[in-house]
Structure 1
Amino acid sequence: MSLDAATVRRVANLARLRLDDAEVPKLQAEINGILGWIEQLQAVDTDGVEPMAGGSPSPVALPWRADAVTDGGQADAVLRNAPDREGEYFGVPKVVE
């Protein structure tokens, strides 16, 4: 499948891209190259190949971890480079009077 210049302009318009007339042939060649790679990938025989991740016929559950804080209590380390601090919090200028 290859795209003509009019289709490239239409796709650019739908993507809200402004193209000069000089850019259309370059973009047309790039898109046609991408479509060529997709056609090559579709020609590969994948019968009997199990998916590596996602789309698996048997759902794979991720292991759960405990919902616990594991890295808290580091206010001094976090605020070490803060320009201003108020206790264990960042100090910020007042924006509403």
Structure 2
Amino acid sequence: MDTDEQQAYRQLALSGATPMEIAQVAHLHGLGAIEIIRLLRSIFTLEFIEAKELATQAVYGMSLSDYQEKYLLPLFQEFEREGATAQDELLQSGDDRHL
């Protein structure tokens, strides 16, 4: 993002736009979650987790916890199942060097 674009977002903030409104506008302009986090933190005094929450809502239309529950939790559960399967295979083969 160039300086002119960032200045436009700063002007929105000075005009009274909330961090969420700026995150939504930035997303409409094609910015992704990481870029929005950086933008919000450069304009507002936000902790990382606050900016991450706002970016997640703007980009994915859900809270960070809902996003993690919907997408990350099933992924971790699948890794856990695959890990247990691999461990079972090693136990059955008698090869315990990797356990």
Structure in which a larger fraction of residues adopt helix: 2
Bin for the TM-score computed over the shorter chain: under 0.3
- TM-score normalized by structure 1? 0.28
TM-score under structure 2 length normalisation: 0.27
Between structure 1 and structure 2, the one with the greater Rg is 1
